[in-house]
Amino acid sequence: MKKCVLVSGGAGFIGSHVTVELIEAGYDVIVADNLSNCDLTCFEGVKKITGRDDLAFHKVDFCDASATDELFSSNRIDAVIHFAGFKAVGESVSEPLKYYRNNLTSFINVIEACRRRGCSNILFSSSATVYGEPDSVPVTEQSPRKPATSSYGNTKQMCEDILRDSVQAYSEIRGIALRYFNPIGAHPSALIGELPRGVPNNLVPFITQTAIGKRECLSVFGNDYPTPDGTCQRDFIDIVDLAKAHVFAVRRMLEGKMKNEYEIFNVGTGKPLSVMELITRFEAANGLKLNYKFAPRREGDVVAIWADPSLANAELGWKAERDIDDTLAAAWAWEKHLAE
- CA-CA-CA-CA torsion for 35, 38, 43, 46, nearest 10 degrees? -150
- Catalytic one among 27, 99, 131, 152? 152
Q: Is 152 a catalytic residue?
A: yes
Q: How far is CA 3 from the centre of its chain?
A: 22
- Outline where the chain has alpha helix (H): 13-24, 41-50, 65-73, 89-94, 96-117, 151-169, 203-212, 239-254, 275-286, 310-311, 324-339
- Looking at beta carbons, which pairs linking 110-114 to residues 24 or more positions away fall under 8 Å? 110/8, 110/62, 110/68, 110/80, 110/82, 110/84, 111/162, 111/163, 111/166, 111/173, 112/65, 112/68, 112/69, 113/65, 113/68, 113/69, 113/71, 113/72, 114/72, 114/77, 114/80, 114/173
Q: Which residues are catalytic?
A: 152
